[in-house]
Chain A
Amino acid sequence: MANNKKRFMQGNEACTEGALYAGCRFYAGYPITPSTEVMEICAARLPKMGGVFIQMEDEIASICAIAGAALGGLKSMTATSGPGFSLMQEGLGFACMAEVPCVVVNVMRSGPSTGFPTGPSQSDVMQAKWGTHGDHPAIVLTPASVEEIFHETVRAFNLSELYRTPVIILYDEIIGHMREAITIPGPGEVEIVERRVPSCAPSEYKPYDVQGGEIAPLASYGEGYRFHVTGLYHAADGFPTNNTKLIEEACHRLLRKIDDNKERIWKNEEYYLEDAEIGIFAYGVSARSAKFAVRELRKKGIKAGLLRPLTIWPFPDRAVEEMAGRVKAIVVPEMNMGQIVYEVERVAHGKCEVKGIFRVDTEPIRPAQIMDCITGNGSKPPAPNSKMAEMMVERDMLDG
């Protein structure tokens, strides 16, 4: 029972706990607000568990170090925020291309550039998908509570091992810094996926030989398997190739290994959606505001419902499409100037109206803003004491 004690914990701490639970034994990073606690706790905990903690010279080195550690056989992680995440894009692309399982946490703060370090934001949601160049797969998870950060961090490691790919955990400063009660599961209570390793002799091993399935087993350096890893397009043996057929096949396979499995990667919460006439699509802290708004709107007789993705990439096309077919309008509140709203629009494809509520003054979107947008009461001044830099959407949604 000692393990199952209820504790009062910060989101970033729950992230570290989740990583350690999942078997992470290597952390390399460079501290940055508002993600630093993930690193601090790793620094305190990992060496005592036989793990490795390294403070690197910057974020470029950090992502390279975790990719290297992963190839050495350890589950590895780094955590950062917008400015560091920008620096990590090259290494992230390398990890996608070389199919290196690892986990990157981005605790979003206000940007661009160094922005407002302690101010929450949700403006890296497109960067998480498209930040690194080239066609590449992306798995990005968006937890919205302390307990969920723990479980989604475990899931991030599981997915990274399962699909041999980097996985990004994306949450905002509020979710990262807030504290809630959490019960850490005991050993064995949550499934942990271990890496598929080769069963062949080292002399026969090819790191990208997908004869037996879409994802090749991954050997660990130092165990006798000698293999080549590169960001260049490569053949089954890992060495660069200029064979156009192989290049095309490799690119297709990289995308397919996620696309073909998206039903297993998707994870959504539906809240009062069955009979909803107005849908809300929201993630992270904005989803918490949306949930509050749904309950209040229902009290007023307005049938609102929430679709909340815990996997934002691959984008939950099917769930959004179903919602778009049933509701009159979908509202998308996000702490940026409009990013995921365009994905919702793409999938809704004119089946219903899609409206965004955007806010970038580093204050969270308040439930009242969402309610006002839906009830058409948008002209009311929002909360006192807040400098507004937001866009309210048209007010005739229900009538329209």
Chain B
Amino acid sequence: MITAGIIIAEAAAIYDGKKAVQSQSYGPESRGGASKAEVIISDEDIDYPKATAIDAMLALTQEACTKYYKDIKSGGLLLIDSDEVKKVPTGDFKICSFPIISTARDVLGKEIVANIISLGLITEITRIVSHEAIEKAVLSRVPAAFLELNKKALHIGFEKGAALSPIS
């Protein structure tokens, strides 16, 4: 998931010509445990590198959702995996829900592209980066053998994102 954060920040900073900072928080475990990638995108210089009032948050697990949703700002967006996040929080923000991981697994045969589907969804819903920029950023970060797979995943995200309406 941190890779997705890097890619969207890179899309903004390198391909859309904006300012972007990406940072992360994680525990001492070498794998497992909650982790979070934070991305700030702006037209101006970014000083404080952490996201304190969140415009859009993606949570693929219940743990992440419960732990981090409180910083979503009024009118913001929470995007959750509908299979994974059953206890849906309530607040003064929009919630969109989509079976991200199972789509990656069942439609594309690779769970690992769940984050790329997520990037497609976020781009489509928020328009925080352009479609061209996110595609360039995704393709520049994946090995040649997996270009097609990732492109497909991104476009599924675009497509499903366009058809998605908030559940609350």
Contact = CB atoms under 8 A, between A and B. Distances in A.
A83 interface: no
Interface SS of chain B: mixed
Contacts of B9: 8, 179
A288 B10 contact: no
A385 B52 CA distance: 10
Contacts of B24: 177-178
Contact of A178 (B23, B26, B27): B23
Chain A contact residues (Cβ within 8 angstroms of B): what range? 20 to 34
B21 interface: yes
A385 B47 contact: no
B28 A117 contact: yes
Interface in A231-286: 285
A7 interface: yes
B90 interface: no
Contacts of A8: 6, 9-10, 13-14, 20, 22
A210 interface: no
Given A116-B28, A118-B27, A181-B13, A292 B22 contact: no
B48 A385 contact: no
Contacts of B68: 385
B105 interface: no
Given A8-B13, A116-B28, A118-B26, A383 B6 contact: no
Contact of B49 (A118, A288, A385): A288
Contacts of A383: 52, 71
B14 A6 contact: yes
Contacts of A33: 28
Interface string A283-296: 00100110110010
Interface string B61-90: 000000010110000000000000000000
Contacts of A364: 48-50
Given A8-B14, A117-B28, A385-B71, A292 B47 contact: yes
Interface in B121-164: none
Interface in B16-75: 19-28, 47-50, 52, 68, 70-71
Contacts of A288: 47-49
B71 A384 contact: yes
B20 A289 contact: no
A180 B19 CA distance: 8
Contacts of B10: 8, 179
Interface of B: 6, 9-10, 13-14, 19-28, 47-50, 52, 68, 70-71
Interface of A: 6-8, 33, 116-118, 174, 177-181, 285, 288-289, 291-292, 295, 364, 366-367, 383-385
